[in-house]
Amino acid sequence: MGGKRIIIGTVLLAFVCISSCAAKDHDLNSETVSMTKDVFAMDTFMNMKAYGANAGKALDKAEERILQLEKELSVNDEQSDIWAIDHSFGDEVNVCDDTAVIINKAIEIGDRSGGALDITLFPVLKEWGFTTGNYKVPDDDTIGELLSYVDYRKINLNGNIVSLPEKAELDLGALAKGYTGDEIMKIMSEEGVSSAIVSLGGNVQALGSKPDGSDWKIAVRDPFSPEQDMCMIEVSDKAVITSGNYERCFTADDGKVYWHILDPSDGYPADNGLVSVTVIGDSGIDCDALSTALFVAGYDKAVDFLRSENGYELILVTDDKKLYYSEGLSECFTDLSDMGAEVIDLD
Ligand code: AMP
Ligand code: MG
| CB of 283 shorter than 6 A to ligand 1 | no
Question: What is the four-CA torsion angle of 41, 198, 274, 231, rounded to 10 degrees?
Answer: -140
| CB of 75 shorter than 6 A to ligand 1 | no
Which of helix, strand or coil describes residue 185? Answer: helix
Q: Given this model, what pLDDT does residue 22 score?
A: 54
Q: Given this model, what pLDDT does residue 347 score?
A: 86
| CB of 105 shorter than 6 A to ligand 1 | no
From first to last of its 347 residues, the chain has per-residue pLDDT tens of: 333 344 444 433 333 333 344 555 544 456 779 999 999 999 999 999 999 999 999 999 999 999 999 999 999 999 999 999 999 999 999 999 999 999 999 999 999 999 999 999 999 999 999 988 899 999 999 999 999 999 999 999 999 999 999 999 999 999 999 999 999 999 999 999 999 999 998 899 999 999 999 999 999 999 999 999 999 999 999 999 999 998 888 898 888 999 999 999 999 999 999 999 999 999 999 999 999 999 999 999 999 999 999 999 999 999 999 999 999 999 999 999 999 999 999 98
**Closest-lying ligand to the alpha carbon of 44?**
1
Contact 44, 241 (CB under 8 A): no
Name the residue of 221, 260, 291 whose CB sits within 8 Å of the most ligand 1 atoms, as the mutation to test its pocket: 260
| CB of 180 shorter than 6 A to ligand 1 | no
| CB of 200 shorter than 6 A to ligand 1 | no
**Residue 218 belongs to what H/E stretch?**
strand 216-222
Q: 334 lies in which domain range?
A: 1-347
**Closest-lying ligand to the alpha carbon of 289?**
2
Q: Which long-range contacts (CB under 8 A, 24 or more apart) does 89-95 make?
A: 89/166, 90/163, 90/164, 90/165, 90/166, 91/163, 92/161, 92/162, 92/163, 93/161, 93/162, 93/163, 94/160, 94/161, 95/160, 95/161, 95/162
C-alpha–C-alpha distance, residues 67 and 71, integer Å: 6
| CB of 110 shorter than 6 A to ligand 1 | no
Residue 30 Cα distances to 25, 26, 209, angstroms: 11, 10, 16
Contact 235, 257 (CB under 8 A): no
Residue 252 is which amino acid? Answer: A
Q: Given this model, what pLDDT does residue 184 score?
A: 98
C-alpha–C-alpha distance, residues 309 and 291, integer Å: 14
Task: Please give the number of the atom of ligand 1 that sits closest to the Cα of 178.
Answer: 3
Protein residue with least CA distance to atom 6, ligand 1: 174
Question: Based on the structure, what is the number of domains in the chain?
Answer: 1
Q: Which residues contact 218 (CB under 8 A, 6 or more apart)?
A: 8, 204, 206, 232, 233, 234, 235, 240
Q: Given this model, what pLDDT does residue 30 score?
A: 66
Q: Which residues contact 165 (CB under 8 A, 6 or more apart)?
A: 90, 149, 154
**Closest-lying ligand to the alpha carbon of 123?**
1
Name the residue of 261, 263, 274, 286 whose CB sits within 8 Å of the most ligand 1 atoms, as the mutation to test its pocket: 261
Q: Given this model, what pLDDT does residue 31 score?
A: 73
Protein residue with least CA distance to atom 15, ligand 1: 261
| CB of 47 shorter than 6 A to ligand 1 | no
Q: Which residues contact 52 (CB under 8 A, 6 or more apart)?
A: 30, 31, 33, 192, 193, 194, 195, 211
Task: Please give the number of the atom of ligand 1 that sits closest to the Cα of 118.
Answer: 20
| CB of 231 shorter than 6 A to ligand 1 | no
Protein residue with least CA distance to atom 8, ligand 1: 174
**Closest-lying ligand to the alpha carbon of 130?**
1
Protein residue with least CA distance to atom 18, ligand 1: 117
Which of helix, strand or coil describes residue 193? Answer: coil
Q: What is the pTM of this model?
A: 0.92
CATH number at residue 29: 3.10.520.10
Q: Given this model, what pLDDT does residue 90 score?
A: 95
Task: Please give the number of the atom of ligand 1 that sits closest to the Cα of 119.
Answer: 21
Protein residue with least CA distance to atom 10, ligand 1: 260
Protein residue with least CA distance to atom 2, ligand 1: 243
What is the Å distance from ligand 1's center to 173 Cα? 6
Protein residue with least CA distance to atom 12, ligand 1: 173
